[in-house]
Structure 1
Amino acid sequence: MVAVFPQKHLTDIAEWHRMGEAGIFPPESHLELIEGEILHMAPIGFNHAGHVNRLNSFLTLLTHGQAIPSVQNPVQLGDLSEPQPDFLLLRPEPSFYSSRHPDAADVILLVEVSDSTLRFDRQQKLRLYASHNIPEYWIVNLIDNCLEVYRQPQDGDYLDKSVLTKADSLNLAALPELQVSVASIL
């Protein structure tokens, strides 16, 4: 008798979209496609949601006309990943990305708000974003009440890593004239 082991079925973006169009997943499902795997994401709590709202309000006003804010919408990363980050700043595009999902080249800033997903955001998502050359990745760390900033992607990691507190401020790498007070988003 030959031993048979369970095998994962990895999917790609095209199959993922067909499943969505076919209504395979309930509308309230919070799913992401990460490196070919369909992952169930944690429910969004009120503290998490409030921080996403704060990011959206502050960064939308700060970048008005220089970037398109996107809240919990997909970004296509290669053929096997389509995460839905908590917040994105995207390069201006006349159709506001109504004819396609943005890809890595469109991203100015990608932000994950983390409490229960901190380890996943620091490991798997960090590698995913760095390997697709997302230029600036922030983790709003609700556990330690700080902002983790990752820049200069190279070989699946970020060369520049810093941890900022409410007393700090920073400039966006792609829009250096814009200064962000960390207290305004924490």
Structure 2
Amino acid sequence: MLTLPRKKFAIEEYHQIIASGVLKEDYLIELINGEIFEMSPVGFRHASCVNKLNQLLSLKLGNKAIISIQNPIKLNDNSEPQPDIVLLKPRHDFYANQHPTVEDIFLLIEVADSSIEYDRTFKIPIYAENKVQEVWLVDLNQNLLEVYQNPQTNYYQSIKKLSSQDSITLTQPETIAVKLDRILF
């Protein structure tokens, strides 16, 4: 079988394609490892979970972090995913002149139902490879929170699965406890 080489894009090329109108800004797409991927549409439970997390984290953290909802982050020169939620280090300009980088991230959260396998087997290893220190994956199908910590080459050394009866302690930007029955269904 003949396999043709794929064109890989740098972030600058990706932005030029969007600016040219070939891809519209409102398309649900993201750049990962130089390839453009279509993202799954956001369903009701997905949106509800993101909203609950946003409200909960906003109330607990106040101005100690910027809570970025479904906005791009720059992992490297050819990856600009759009996670559901990212807790960012505060900046006076709110990242007006550049997308946040890995060094700006306290916590990255993906919420998934139809995209759970894509997130777990494709995106999580990319976050590890780029040294995102802590990732939460909310699995709406199993009603679980998967916590990924201690990134290695392309995997996380520590993986925990928690249910709605559990709590988790967030340590950055400050120590707060989160009861998972507040976010899981």
TM-score (norm 1): 0.94
Q: How does 1:47-58 map to 2 (within 5 A)?
A: 47-58=45-56
Counterpart residue number, 2:11: 13
Counterpart residue number, 2:30: 32
Question: Offset at 1:50?
Answer: 1.0
Counterpart residue number, 2:159: 161
Counterpart residue number, 2:113: 115
Contact 1:136 1:173 in 2 (8 A): no
Corresponding residue pairs, total: 184
Q: Percent identity?
A: 40
Task: Give the direction of change, closer, same or farther, for the CA distance of 1:24–1:146 in structure 2 (3 Å limit).
Answer: same
TM-score (norm 2): 0.95
User: SS at the partner of 2:75?
Assistant: coil
Distance, in Å, in 1 between the alignment partners of 2:173 and 2:179 is: 14
Contact 2:18 2:24 in 1 (8 A): no
Matching of residue 134 in structure 1 with residue 132 in structure 2: yes
Contact 1:76 1:82 in 2 (8 A): yes
Q: Which runs of 5+ in 1 are unaligned?
A: none
User: SS at the partner of 1:149?
Assistant: strand
Q: How does 1:93-104 map to 2 (within 5 A)?
A: 93-104=91-102
Distance, in Å, in 2 between the alignment partners of 1:174 and 1:144 is: 27
**Residues 50-59 or 20-29, more deviating:** 20-29
Q: Which runs of 5+ in 2 are unaligned?
A: none
Partner of residue 149 from structure 2, selected from 148, 151, 175: 151
Contact 1:112 1:121 in 2 (8 A): yes
Give the counterpart letter for 2:100 in structure 1: P
Distance, in Å, in 1 between the alignment partners of 2:112 and 2:2 is: 38
Contact 2:29 2:37 in 1 (8 A): yes
Question: Offset at 1:175?
Answer: 3.6
Give the counterpart letter for 1:57 in structure 2: Q
Counterpart residue number, 1:72: 70
Deviations 1:135-181 (A, max 9, x none): 11001100100100001111111111100111111111324521111
Distance, in Å, in 2 between the alignment partners of 1:176 and 1:65 is: 11
Counterpart residue number, 2:90: 92
Give the counterpart letter for 1:13 in structure 2: I
Distance, in Å, in 2 between the alignment partners of 1:169 and 1:14 is: 41
Question: Offset at 1:5?
Answer: 4.7
